[in-house]
Chains A and B, each alone.
Chain A
Amino acid sequence: MINGKNKNITNVNLTFALDELGYKGKKLATALNGEFVSVQSRDNTNLKEGDKLEVLSPQQGG
């Protein structure tokens, strides 16, 4: 699940998975199953079936 939607991806590594999903070069932050995953940790993070990935970016806020 990526941002609440089921997605099939071929890359299990988080950095490559983000590239595959079209996020390459974007200013974003990630959380996996409710836990923050820093930019530095993405290379060492692998996704598995059923994981919930959140990909967030700067947006309007009050």
Chain B
Amino acid sequence: MKDFYGSKLKSQMMLGTAQYPSPAILVSCFEKSKASVATVSLRRESGNLDSGNSFWSIIKKLDVKILPNTAGCHTVKEAVTTAHMAREIFDTKWIKLEVIGEEDTLQPDVFGLVEAAKILSDEGFEVFPYTTEDLVVADKLLNSGCKVLMPWGSPIGSGQGLNNIFGLKALRAHFPDIPMIIDAGIGLPSHATKAMELGFDAVLLNTAIAKAGDPIVMAEAFSHAIISGALGLNADPMEPRDMANPSTPIFGKAFL
């Protein structure tokens, strides 16, 4: 397994922390999924409540690395400031960099993304850029200092799976040595398996588990799915054929 900015992860599963029915179910989902990374965010804190500390007390007990995001940021300045705040509060150089360009699809603003990635990489951040499968953008992100890419499967929270298999294959083939995580749009365990079969190094998801009817069972299903996809790829799959080819030998068949 490739490392992510020098970190070897115990699994190829990364899991978001939002939208679970309860904190107890969130914890169980992390246990069952065997996720190695948890994504978190920064939001406004009320002076009267203590929601931040309550949430953090749960997350810090999980045996995972923390990946703060800049979710909801639409400008370079917003994303960079949020990254600065996240680095201080979570005490990590990792940042999942999101610069959103379009509301309906939550498609990344790749121009702003490259600009913000350059600023943050130069400041010593280890940037995980949420991007599209675009090869040219990927190249610019790598030139900006990113050593990991996070291409989307499909729009965030859509559950559509991998919408552009051709584009993702091309991206994987073009940068074979770059650790890549499929982030966003995963809806089913089979989507995660497909991502791993294509040679991606990890899958990051949230809604598919948190909003499932039984999140804990779904977390376990995703764990198996990711392992299956990775094992299958490593086992050197057969080439598909257009025509049938009998698996039972013809030789020795009785003439009846």
Interface positions of A (Cβ within 8 A of B): 3-4, 21-23, 26-31, 34-36, 38-39, 54-62
Partner of B89, one of A27, A54, A60: A27
Q: How far is the CA of A38 from the CA of B86 in the complex (A)?
A: 11
In the complex, chain A residues whose CB is within 8 Å of the CB of B47: 21-23, 55
In the complex, chain B residues whose CB is within 8 Å of the CB of A60: 16-20, 40-41, 55
Q: How far is the CA of A62 from the CA of B139 in the complex (A)?
A: 25
The 8 A CB mask of B155-185 against A (1 = contact, 0 = none) is: 0110000000000000000000000000000
Interface positions of B (Cβ within 8 A of A): 16-20, 39-48, 50-53, 55-56, 59, 68-69, 71, 77-78, 81, 84-86, 88-90, 156-157, 206-207
Of B42, B68, B206, which is in contact with the most chain A CB atoms at under 10 Å from its CB?
A: B42
Partner of B52, one of A4, A54, A58, A61: A58
The answer to whether A54 and B44 touch across the interface, beta carbons within 8 angstroms, is yes
* New contact pairs (4) apart from A57-B45, A59-B43, CB-CB < 8 Å: A4-B44, A54-B44, A58-B53, A60-B17
The answer to whether A56 and B44 touch across the interface, beta carbons within 8 angstroms, is yes
Closest residue of A by beta carbon distance from B96:
A61
The answer to whether A26 and B52 touch across the interface, beta carbons within 8 angstroms, is yes
15 examples of A-B residue contacts, CB within 8 angstroms: A26-B53, A29-B88, A30-B85, A35-B81, A36-B84, A38-B84, A55-B47, A57-B42, A57-B52, A57-B55, A58-B89, A59-B40, A59-B41, A60-B16, A60-B40
In the complex, chain A residues whose CB is within 8 Å of the CB of B44: 3-4, 54-57
Of A21, A35, A54, which is in contact with the most chain B CB atoms at under 10 Å from its CB?
A: A54
Q: How far is the CA of A56 from the CA of B90 in the complex (A)?
A: 12
In the complex, chain B residues whose CB is within 8 Å of the CB of A30: 85
In the complex, chain A residues whose CB is within 8 Å of the CB of B85: 29-31, 36, 56
